[in-house]
Chains A and B, each alone.
Chain A
Amino acid sequence: MIPSPSSVATDYDMASGAVVTLNDVKVHYPVKEGILQRVTGQVRAVDGVDLTITRGKTMGLVGESGCGKTTLGRVIAGLVSPTSGDLWLDLNPEQQAEIQRLRALSPSAMTVAEREIWKKLEANHRLGSMSREKQRKYRRNCQVVFQDAFSSLNPRQLVREIVGRPLRVHKEASGEELDRRVIELLERVGLGAQHMLRYPHQFSGGQRQRISIARALALNPEFVILDEPTSALDVSVQAQILNLLVELQKDLGLTYLFITHDLGVVQHMSDQIAVMYLGQIAEYGPTDQVFNSPLHPYSRILRDSNPTLEGEVAGSKWELSGTVPNPINPPRGCRLHPRCPVATASCGWSVDDLLFTVEDRTPALYETISGVERASDFQAQVMFESDDAAGEFANTAGQLGALVASDQALSVDGKSVTLRFPEVSDAALLPMSPGRWTSCTRTQTMGKLPPS
């Protein structure tokens, strides 16, 4: 039932083309330890993300702290260079499809003509291999509004210099023409000429975000990245800013990437939503569909744990157990499986996962283990002092990860328990229906989430 693996990049509103397309983008930070500061591992902040930001629409990027959404926003804004993967700019529908096709071919299988097309596409659209002039044009076209109203405006500059700076840097205007443009921008965001000659500390949080937005609009960009623009604001001020952003999008036909951890705001603002967990996209799809019928347990748990003013949420609420794993060596298979209430044996359980979960939740039981013989990451023999210790381990471990006993993942014989988890490759983001993607391996096989 699963269509051939192609990237989410093929799936977008054909008419308007894509402002930015990401293919398998990764951002890893080296971890240095010990005396000689040797690199002992990689923090995989962003670990293979495919994404398409459709022109004129708002793409919501939601996830909890540490999931990599801000890093991803910074990569797209050009502030952080990706460790691997490609960033394509301004692809029209044909180019988009062409790139997906060529990408799937291995370089040797490419014909000369295809390689030529690939070179041309890269020279015109791939960030990093395009000409400096094109890169600079993209830089003008993509602006950012930051979260902390206090630290996103230079306290030493007047509003006139702050908002006017983009125009001065790109030598678009100067002198009185510049002042006129700045006043126009201020009026557009609900401020006025009287605010020109003031310092940032003389404004409230809401007014500062308006100045930040005015600065972002100075070069009348096509695409604005909003990195948690209203998280630091009170609800009443947040409403003013969100209304302003929507109004500007309508008037100027802007494309937004809206990054936030607030589900109410992302539901209100975005056409498409990408839910991120531990550096990867867990689920992607139109906003209301993702909210009404989520295809990934994590999206569902996020939705249910977010308190709302509306009626009671139907059914029992799922809960995540344990804490977010270490991004240096994330769990195998589906990354949520150690915490997921509906995880099965084939979700990527490894021997270490099970032992770590047992140690964390029932330390007494963990002490009874006398030895572990590993055949591989997924198969091992766990020895105990006594038979009943082994038995007890088997049935507690059985319920822990909601492992279905029938999967014969666990079998007890005498004083030892053999673990045989299916060898599972890392979960990939696959389409379940046009425009609806999930990386939950369980849903990919079952078609939909189990009823709560």
Chain B
Amino acid sequence: MSSLSSVEMGSTKQSVASVKWARRREVAREVLQNPLTVIGLVIILLFLLMAIFAPLLTEANQPDPYQSPRDWANIDSPPGVAGHVLGTDSQGGDLLYGVIWGSRLSLQLSLTVVISTLVIGTIIGSLAAMRGGRLDNFLMRVVDVFLSIPELIFALAIAAVLGPSFRNIILALVAVFWVKYARIIRGEIIRVKQAEYVAAARVVGDSTWNIYRKDVLPNAVTPLIVQATLDMGNVVLIGATLSFIGLAQAGLTEWGALVSAGQSGLLAGHWWVSTFAGLAIVLWALAFNLVGDGLRDVLDPKTEGR
């Protein structure tokens, strides 16, 4: 019987890595087969580039780059007039500048909220599912309480209490969104704990922490990744609604705030102010929803192991 020669043995480290990467590429190829997902990814890439290269695309407005520069001479000018590609709002704020710097704020908002809630939710959900018993019951009742207040209304109350500012919107969303992840990870861990490979690991005598780290979490995390991708879009949607109803600082280049600023001009026929900012929100949320849906079809836990 052949056995691995020493040369091959030496290279086991790289070959393990290469096999793991081959597996990831295989999954990636499967995801990219769906055209809708590809469109979503392209849009996300564009937004990413727009956010990163904002200072290059438009000259940063001093002192606060997140307040769009005022061109008092051409207020409410339609798109393409006086050098304003997308036109200006009632205070002469350049809309193109607003949309570009708004993408930075959206990136900031979505990354901070999703990552922090993912971590908090996973910790609490894992504790509840692994420990079980009274702690599980207590944590799940707390989750029930949080979930009985609609997300936006809860966040709205927190942000209003903390005082209107973009930072407070982020804090409010973090305080509200972790619950969703706690519930998902708890359900998945309880499902995975019944699998025989977890019993096999216990028979071998591995510690609970190792079993959690090596067997339970990796197989329970997939639905979390799908939900996180979807929430990268949802979070911006809800954040924009909060700033639309006035919970962000005045004049901020946040898309929701821009749409709100354009609302009064609408009746006077200045349609462009709300439209472009709103379109940016839709594209952002659409992109992440498309990618999230594509991931869900490919990474369905039930068929994954087959």
Which residues of A come within 8 Å of B, CB atoms?
74, 77-79, 136, 139-140, 142-144, 146-148, 150-158, 160, 165-166, 169-170, 176, 179-180, 183-184, 187, 192-194, 196-201, 212, 215, 219
> Which residues of A lie under 8 Å from residue B203 when comparing CB positions?
77-79, 139, 142-144
Residue of A nearest to B20 (CB): A158
Give chain B nearest CB distance to A35 CB in angstroms: 15
Chain B residue, CB-CB nearest to A184 = B3
Q: Which of B67-75, B177-185, B192-200 sits within the interface?
A: B192-200
Q: Does B202 have its Cβ within 8 Å of any Cβ on chain A?
A: yes
Q: Is the CB of B204 within 8 A of A183?
A: no
Q: Check B1 against A187 for contact (C-beta < 8 Å).
A: yes
Whether B62 sits at the interface, judged by CB under 8 Å, is no
Question: Is B206 touching A169 in the complex (CB atoms < 8 A)?
Answer: yes
10 contacts between A and B (CB under 8 A): A79-B202, A150-B305, A152-B197, A166-B204, A169-B210, A180-B4, A183-B3, A187-B3, A201-B306, A219-B204
| Residues A193 and B205 in contact, CB atoms below 8 Å apart | no
Answer whether residue B201 sits at the interface, using C-beta atoms and an 8 A cutoff. Answer: yes
* Other A-B pairs beyond A140-B205, A144-B203, 14, CB < 8 Å: A79-B199, A136-B205, A142-B203, A146-B200, A151-B305, A155-B219, A156-B219, A160-B16, A165-B206, A169-B210, A179-B4, A200-B305, A201-B305, A215-B200
Task: Give the distance in Å from the alpha carbon of A154 to the alpha carbon of B23 in the complex.
Answer: 15
Q: Does B304 sit at the interface, judged by CB under 8 A?
A: yes
State the main secondary structure of chain B at its contact with A.
Answer: helix
**Chain B residues in 8 Å Cβ range of A183:** 3-4
Q: Return chain A residues, CB-CB under 8 Å to B304.
A: 155
**Residue in contact with B15 in the complex, picked from A136, A146, A197, A199, CB distance below 8 Å:** A197
Chain A residue nearest in CB terms to B222: A156
Q: Which residues of A contact B197 (CB under 8 A)?
A: 151-154
Give CA–CA (A239, B9) in the complex, Å.
Answer: 34
Complex interface: chain A residues within 8 A of B151 (CB): none
Docked complex Cα distance between A219 and B200 (Å): 13
User: A202: nearest residue on chain B (CB-CB)?
Assistant: B23
For the complex, give the distance between the alpha carbons of A157 and B2 in Å.
23
Complex Cα spacing A169 to B197, Å: 15
**CB closest chain-A residue, reference B198:** A154
Task: List, in ascending order, chain B residues with CB within 8 A of A215's CB.
Answer: 200, 204
- Cβ of B210: which chain A residues have Cβ within 8 Å of it? 169
Q: In the complex, A352 Cα to B297 Cα: how many Å? A: 54
Query: When the two chains form their complex, are residues B19 and A158 in contact, meaning their CB atoms are under 8 A apart?
Result: yes
- Interface hub of B197, B218, B306 (most chain A Cβ within 10 A): B197
User: A139–B206 Cα gap in the complex (Å)?
Assistant: 10
Question: Residues on B close to A: CB < 8 A?
Answer: 1-4, 8-9, 12, 15-16, 19-20, 23, 195-197, 199-206, 210, 214-215, 218-219, 304-306
| Residue numbers in A under 8 Å from B2 (CB-CB) | 192-194
The answer on a CB contact under 8 Å between A176 and B9 is yes
Q: What is the CA–CA distance of A74 and B12 in the complex, to the nearest angstrom?
A: 36
Return the chain B residue nearest A193 by Cβ: B4
Kindly report which residue of chain B lies nearest to residue A145, judged by CB atoms: B200
Given the complex of chains A and B, what is the CA–CA distance between A79 and B194 in angstroms?
12
In Å, the complex CA distance between A78 and B202 comes to 9
A169 CB contact (under 8 Å) in B12, B15, B195, B204: B204
A197–B3 contact, CB under 8 A? Answer: no
- Which A residues lie within 8 Å of B200 (CB)? 144, 146, 152, 212, 215
Q: Is the CB of B306 within 8 A of A154?
A: no
CB distance from B12 to the nearest CB of A (A): 6
Q: Which residue of the partner chain A has the closest CB to B202?
A: A79
Give complex CA distance A166, B210 in Å: 12
- Please report the C-alpha to C-alpha distance between residue A427 and residue B20 in the assembled complex, in whole angstroms: 58
Q: What is the CA–CA distance of A146 and B202 in the complex, to the nearest angstrom?
A: 13
Nearest-neighbour CB distance to chain B for A58, whole angstroms, equals 19
In the complex, are the beta carbons of B219 and A169 less than 8 A apart? Answer: no
> Which chain A positions have C-beta within 8 A of B16?
158, 160, 197
**List of A residues within 8 angstroms of B15 by Cβ:** 197
* Nearest chain A CB to B36 CB, angstrom units: 26
B-chain residues with CB within 8 Å of residue A156 when the two chains form the complex: 218-219
Cα distance A155–B301 in the bound complex, in angstroms: 10
Among A156, A165, A200, which residue has the most Cβ atoms of chain B within 10 A?
A: A156
Q: B119: shortest Cβ distance to chain A, in Å?
A: 20
User: Which of A155, A170, A180 contacts B205, CB < 8 Å?
Assistant: A170
Contacts of A184 in B (CB 8 A): 3
Contacts A151-B195, A154-B215, A197-B19: A192 and B305 contacting too (C-beta < 8 A)?
Answer: no
Closest 6 CB pairs of A and B: A155-B305, A152-B196, A146-B196, A156-B218, A154-B197, A139-B205
Q: B23 to A199, Cβ gap below 8 A?
A: yes
Cα separation A194 to B19 with both chains bound (whole Å): 12
Query: By the criterion CB–CB under 8 Å, are A154 and B199 in contact?
Result: no
| Residues from chain A with Cβ under 8 Å of B23 in the complex | 199
What is the distance, in angstroms, from B151's C-beta to the closest C-beta of chain A?
31
Q: Across the interface, which residues of B come within 8 angstroms of A176, CB to CB?
A: 9, 12
Most buried by B among A147, A197, A200: A197
Neighbouring A residues of B202 by C-beta, 8 Å? 79
Q: Given the interface contacts A183-B3, A192-B2, A201-B305, does A157 sit within 8 Å of B199 by beta carbon?
A: no
CA distance A199 to B27 in the complex (A): 13
B4 touches A196 (CB 8 A): yes
Contacting residues, chain B, for A142 (C-beta < 8 A): 203
A133 → B minimal CB distance (Å): 12
Closest A residue to B15 by beta carbon equals A197
Question: Bound complex: CA of A158 vs CA of B15, how far in Å?
Answer: 12
**Chain B residue nearest to A144 in the complex (CB):** B203
How long is the Cα–Cα vector from A160 to B9 in the complex, in angstroms? 12
Nearest neighbor of A153 in chain B, beta-carbon distance:
B197
What's the nearest-Cβ distance from chain A to residue B20, in Å? Answer: 8
Docked pose: A153 CA to B198 CA in angstroms: 9
